[in-house]
Amino acid sequence: MPPMTPSAKRSMSYYRSWDIVVVPFPFTDQKTNKVRPAVIVSTDALRQRNGKYIVAMITNATNAAQYGDVSISELSAAGLPIASVVRTSKVAVIEDADVHKRVGTLPTADRKLVAEQLREYLAID
C-alpha cells in the first residue's frame, strides 16, 4: 500500500462513496467557494492514494432545474432539511482535510440515477 499523503494524514475521519458531506464547494471561477452539501462520487481508492474525493454539488430544489439534476428522494437519510437535488453537472475535487462533516448518505434509489448521469457526462463505461 502506498504511503498516505499529508492531507490524508490530517483527517481523523474517512468518508465513503455516496456519503453526503459538507464542503467548501468551488464556484466556476475557482477563486471563491461556498460551504454546502455535496455527495462523494469517487471510490475509496482516490482518498487512500491521494487524500482527495470527487464530489457532486447538492443544491436547493427550488433553484432553476438543470439537465442532469437528480432529486434526492429521502431527505432524512440524506441529512438534508429541505428538498434538494444532486447537480451532476457540477463536480469538484476536494481535499480530505477540507471535509467539514458527514450529514447523511444518498439513498440507494438515487445512486443509480446519479451514476447513470455521470456516465453520460464522463468518458467512462
First to last CA, the chain: 27
Predicted local confidence at residue 12, as pLDDT = 59
Predicted local confidence at residue 29, as pLDDT = 75
Question: 96, 51 in Cβ contact below 8 A?
Answer: yes
The pLDDT tens digits of the residues spanning 40-92 come to: 999 999 999 999 999 999 999 888 999 999 999 999 999 999 999 999 999 99
Q: Is the pLDDT of residue 5 over 60?
A: no
Three-state secondary-structure class, residue 71: strand
6: pLDDT confidence band, cut at 50, 70 and 90? very low
Three-state secondary-structure class, residue 124: coil
CATH number assigned to the domain covering 6-120: 2.30.30.110
Predicted local confidence at residue 21, as pLDDT = 98
Of the candidates 94, 80, 101, which has an alpha carbon nearest to the alpha carbon of residue 22? 101
Of the candidates 36, 10, 39, 15, which has an alpha carbon nearest to the alpha carbon of residue 25? 36
Write the single-letter amino acid at 125.
D
Ordered by start, the domain boundaries in the chain are 6-120
The pLDDT tens digits of the residues spanning 94-115 come to: 999 999 999 999 999 999 999 9
